[in-house]
Structure 1
Amino acid sequence: MTRNIRLTIEYDGSRFCGWQTQRRTRRKTVQEEVEKAGRKLFGKKINLIGAGRTDSGVHAEAQVANFRVDSRLPLRNIKKGLNSHLPKDIAILSAEDVKSDFHARFDAREKLYKYTIINRKVRSPLLKRHAAFISYDLDIGAMKKAARHFVGKKDFRSFQASDKKERHSVRTVTKCDVISRHPIVDIYIQADGFLYNMVRNIVGTLIDVGRGRTKPEQVKKILFKRHRSAAGQTAPAKGLCLVKVLYQPLI
């Protein structure tokens, strides 16, 4: 009996070369580790489809993936069995049977990312792998004003990695919030899709606003220029986390 299994996966991306299997390198990826665990559990290869291709060093609270397998193992045994074969920085939070045509990537409607900054004078040893450290004061009010300009259907070419040129660079951002709980600053960005490094480049621009280098209203001009050089630097990968993948109906 062929089943389509949907997984929800949490991982610390610090020591992984991103989500997607890299055929030309020996560096480990999250997809590769889960597929290896699946082979051990089922005695056969599984092909894992992930909702989001997180980059090297990026984390996930709830990555979604699916695979097809001919097995009668109960779901609780699949979850437990996969976890028993996975390294400690990857965990299967849930396993469930879904319709045969469910596709983790193509059925995703929106994704929510969170970027975490530790904003104080002294670095944080506890958060060093999960937050960007900024020692200078940030103007949170200005960052909040700037964040509003990213919401809506816009051309985000200015926030695409300079070495990546996708033909279509229009995306719809439904949320861009800056939330401060000193010394932690969390930036939440939700959209129907993302260009390569788009979130980290938006964050870099918001940091420039927080430092006073860029005024909030200048975000409009940066978007209009449609050139990577107009935006801020790319924020470090370690502060970025995939929080949630939303499907239809949005849940």
Structure 2
Amino acid sequence: MEKEVKRVKMIVAYDGTNYKGWQVQPNGITIEEVLNRHLSSLLGEEITVTGASRTDSGVHSLGNVAIFDTTTRMPADKISFALNQRLPEDIVVQDSCEVPADWHPRYQNSRKTYEYRILNRTFRMPTRRLDTYFYHHSLDVEKMSRAAVYLEGEHDFKSFCAVNAQVKTTVRTIYACSVTKADDIITIRVTGNGFLYNMVRIIAGTLIQVGGGQIEPEQIEQILAARDREAAGPTAPAHGLTMMGIEYMEEKDIDTQGVV
């Protein structure tokens, strides 16, 4: 008698400092590799997880979503508790549950939210070195906020995509893009239906140039229209970026270009 296969969904938080990103690769340890190894050991079968977002080396997450198929009799909601006993302290599964066999985190209509955090002060703060980008020149947050509004809506974000990224379309929808400051931390928060390779980090690098006076807020329109990576600002360092989470929507609620 064949064992019944079930699909388990997990919400995974991690500090990406010590990892070469999410996806398994030969040149270093990754989040996916660690999850595969410990799940396989825990459940006594070969497990391969699939993540919603393949975050880059050094990028953090509070709510990446992953699935895997298993024949274990362990209840899906108990897997998170058992797995967290085995995982290193910089990876923690926040929740696990069973989902339909055809549910896939990359092919659902969704809203993803990222935050890019900048430590904007004269000197570094050692306790924030891993999750903020230190920038000592004063930044004009009001200008950055005005520029961010131009990114909202459906646009061709080719100017904000790494060169040679392999995607069917560079059109994406940004539902909200804001810039706020609390004490010495400037937070760029972006919610969209999907993001191109390095897109949020290029948005951050461009908005930093706006805040520093090299680019005027109104020039964002020209940068978008150029559809040229050279038109936008630099790619901000990975360690300032955190994937905040993914909200899955009903088909009728939201259109999507596909997520990456």
Query: Which band: TM-score by shorter chain?
Result: over 0.9
The aligned counterpart of 2:171 is: 170
Would the alpha carbon gap of residues 199 and 142 (structure 1) be closer, same or farther in structure 2, given more than 3 Å must change? same
Would the alpha carbon gap of residues 150 and 94 (structure 1) be closer, same or farther in structure 2, given more than 3 Å must change? same
The aligned counterpart of 2:145 is: 144
The aligned counterpart of 1:114 is: 115
In the TM superposition, residue 83 of structure 1 has moved relative to its aligned partner by 1.1
In the TM superposition, residue 108 of structure 1 has moved relative to its aligned partner by 4.6
Q: Distance in 2 between matches of 1:218 and 1:156?
A: 14
Question: Structure 2: 5+ residue runs without aligned partners?
Answer: 254-260
Q: Distance in 2 between matches of 1:36 and 1:12?
A: 18
Q: Distance in 1 between matches of 2:166 and 2:145?
A: 29
The aligned counterpart of 1:10 is: 13
Where do 1:180-219 residues align within 5 Å? 180-219=181-220
Q: Distance in 1 between matches of 2:127 and 2:164?
A: 33
Q: Deviations over 1:131-185 (max 9, x none)?
A: 0001111100000000000000001000111232534111000010101112011
SS at match of 1:141: helix
Contact 1:40–1:85 at 8 Å: present in 2 too?
A: no
Q: Distance in 2 between matches of 1:169 and 1:75?
A: 37
Q: Distance in 2 between matches of 1:110 and 1:184?
A: 24
**TM-score, scaled to structure 2:** 0.92
Q: Distance in 2 between matches of 1:171 and 1:80?
A: 36
Letter in 2 for 1:15: N
Contact 1:51–1:108 at 8 Å: present in 2 too?
A: no
Q: Distance in 1 between matches of 2:167 and 2:177?
A: 22
The aligned counterpart of 1:243 is: 244
Q: Deviations over 1:164-209 (max 9, x none)?
A: 2534111000010101112011111111111110100011000000
Contact 2:176–2:190 at 8 Å: present in 1 too?
A: yes
Q: Distance in 2 between matches of 1:68 and 1:76?
A: 14
Q: Deviations over 1:74-107 (max 9, x none)?
A: 2353112211221111001111111111111212
SS at match of 1:136: coil
Counterpart check, 1:104 vs 2:105:
yes
RMSD between superposed Cα atoms in Å: 1.2
The aligned counterpart of 2:31 is: 30
The aligned counterpart of 2:43 is: 42
Contact 2:110–2:248 at 8 Å: present in 1 too?
A: yes
> Aligned pair count?
248
Contact 1:12–1:59 at 8 Å: present in 2 too?
A: yes
The aligned counterpart of 1:21 is: 24
Contact 2:156–2:172 at 8 Å: present in 1 too?
A: yes
Q: Distance in 1 between matches of 2:28 and 2:67?
A: 23
Moved over 3 A (4+): none
Q: Distance in 2 between matches of 1:42 and 1:131?
A: 37
**TM-score, scaled to structure 1:** 0.96
Letter in 2 for 1:236: P
Q: Distance in 1 between matches of 2:145 and 2:40?
A: 47
SS at match of 2:32: helix
Q: Distance in 1 between matches of 2:145 and 2:74?
A: 49
Q: Deviations over 1:50-75 (max 9, x none)?
A: 11010000000011111110011123
Counterpart check, 1:61 vs 2:79:
no
SS at match of 1:126: helix
Letter in 1 for 2:102: D
